[in-house]
Structure 1
Amino acid sequence: MERIGPPLTGDERETLRAFLDYHRATLAWKCEGLTDEELRRPSMPPSTLSLLGLVRHMGEVERHWFRRTVNGEELPHLWSDTHDFQAAYEASGATREEAFAAWEAEVAHARRIEAAAESLDVTAYVPSWKEDASLRLVMLHLIHEYARHNGHADFLRQAIDGATGA
């Protein structure tokens, strides 16, 4: 995933799309050059958070918001038979290949769904909020999710090999 900064003068949709892609690419960048073992390395106890767990979690998040919510697809969770979003974080037996394949597939679906939407004003019902939300809000929510977790990824990567950078 190429990491390109968002446009300084783009329209709203182009800007949201670019910021979301920038954050997706940032997560991939934080994982570059690491072995499966390093990607599975947990942060400090009691947390078991790892870079691979973040990739798996974001695959689940992309799937939930774009495919289930915006597109109305009835789909199981990627990593849980009991609809547990937290299960994605458990990456002790995971590999880069399977985690990235699932995440990248969900990103591709999300991009297709967003591109096909008539406008950012398209709405979908969000059961946990008991209200409709616009595609605009979904995209902003994903940007927020990635931004938070990319902060975690910064610390995780630095603990593995000292690499820093935003």
Structure 2
Amino acid sequence: MTTTTQRSAPAQNADERTMLEGWLDYHRQTLAVKCEGLTDAQLRTAAVPPSELSLLGLVRHMAEVERHWFRRILVGDAPDPIYYDEADPDGDFHTGEQDTWAEAHATWQAEIEEARRNAARHALDDLSVGKGRSTGEPFSLRWIYTHMIEEYARHNGHADLLRERVDGATGD
């Protein structure tokens, strides 16, 4: 794998939507950076036992998360899961020899593009079609953006540890 992700710092004094989208893109790009320069085998490595978490699993998981929040919840689409099913509800994290960066990255990027298209059709205060399991209430796009930033930030912390264990690379 020889891609070089361009990571852009979010604007420091933009309007709210630009700021939220900037931070979300920054964290998306951070996860890509954490995966750069590794082989498929390294990306599949669960480097922090006993956890099964791998960098490739994180990318697959984030493809599912993008799909869930921006397709199922925001606009009410009902696409099937990509990597998991009832038999393996954590299938996004369970990678095997057949799973590649090329496929996972392309799928993740496609879900990000669909997320951007869906979000562009809504104002920050617009409410989702889907509702919260515990509250039965819809989510604002603002809430979804904030949640996605949190989700990426948390998993980027995991990615930092995994990457350091795989090849010693550290950094922000």
TM over 0.5: same fold?
yes
2:44 to 40, 46, 69: 40
Q: For 1:114 and 1:83, how far apart are their aligned partners in 2?
A: 31
State the aligned residue count.
165
- Greater fraction of residues in helix: 1
* Alignment TM-score, normalising by the size of structure 1: 0.95
How far 1:126 sits from its partner (Å)? 2.1
**Runs of 4+ residues deviating >6 angstroms:** none
Instruction: Report percent identity of matched pairs.
Output: 51
Match of 2:142 among 136, 146, 166: 136
The separation in 1 between residues aligned to 2:156 and 2:13, in whole angstroms, is 25
Aligned CA distance change for structure 1 residues 83 and 148 (closer, same or farther; 3 Å):
farther
Question: How far is 1:67 from its partner?
Answer: 0.6
Match in the other structure for 1:111: 116
> What is the TM-score with the length of structure 2 in the denominator?
0.91
Q: Confirm or deny that 1:67 pairs with 2:66.
A: no
| 1:9-158 mapped onto 2 (5 Å cutoff) | 9-82=13-86, 85-93=89-97, 94-117=99-122, 119-124=123-128, 125-129=130-134, 130-158=136-164
Unaligned runs of 5+ in 2: none
> CA RMSD for the aligned pairs?
1.4
Other structure's SS at 1:133 match: strand
Q: Deviations over 1:50-95 (max 9, x none)?
A: 0000000000000000011101101110112328652101112311
Listed as ranges, the gaps of 5+ residues in structure 1 are none
